[in-house]
Structure 1
Amino acid sequence: MRVRQRIEFDADESEDARYAEQHRGDGVLCRELGPEHRAAKDPGCDQRGNRRPPITFDDGSSDLGPGDVATIKAVAIPLKGNDTKIQITTYAHDSNIAAARSLAKARGDNIAAELEAEGIDKARIVVRAEANPTAPDVQVNEAQITVVAE
């Protein structure tokens, strides 16, 4: 869980400017996009420019909880009716590298299956599963869904 620093704003600053400043450095600036493009350009954003809750897993599990399924259904809505390609990135950690790789792949495959069930063509989905990531900012039990640049 990230703790955000409280930032004070001038009264004449726009809501979008405040949001952008609060989230600078996140790599998440949902409100910089127009409303018609927000969710299609960043599946983690809703139409109002708010961040969707993350898709999370319990340690050692690839099961999706009800909240995760709801997030995936919400992500699928703006992806319908276009040909946007997406990447699902999942991670897992285990002392056995093969077990970690298998778990990360199972997590990504479960998310992909939910998106397919919502009508998103399998050909538009790429799953990237990484075992035992070393980057300090990686949340091993969280998944990311991003738009693939064409």
Structure 2
Amino acid sequence: MLNDSELATLRKRFKRDAAFLMQTATSSDEDEKSQEEKDAKPLPRINRHSVFWIVASVSVTYYVDFIHNIMENDDVKSWWFNVGLVLLGICLSLAMFCIVYLEWFKGIQHYDQEYPAIPPITTAAFIAASCSFNIALWPVWSIFTPLILFTQFMGVVMFISLLG
């Protein structure tokens, strides 16, 4: 067992560590307040990040002749493409339900708390849609398909963020 001097040393160390933890806790509270102040200040809509992804998406659309390849290329697996369109439609419908109906009309800001099943269903539908699109378009662009689709996705997301 421990003798009295070792116990005293241990108590002093715990007190010192507790004091250090208390100082850290108060400084983290100040960091949280400054984070809240940062959140209160609106971020600019147009920034380099969003402009980059929009320009990249437009460039990819132009250089790989995206629309023409999807519409007229015989290598596209139409069954997988149609499944991807249906899943993407489900995903977008749920997103529009949340944004337009719940947030704008009903005024529910935290719709994920009111309807907890919507975020996982939307996420699963989007992941399944992206897999379907990758399978459908793999014969057209092979290894570049995920990169092309990701660039398109980011461009659309950044464009929508500029609208809202």
TM-score relative to the length of structure 1: 0.27
Name the one with the larger strand percent: 1
Larger Rg, first or second structure (1 or 2): 2
TM-score relative to the length of structure 2: 0.26
Q: Which has the higher contact order (CA 8 A, sep 6+)?
A: 2
Name the one with the larger helix percent: 2
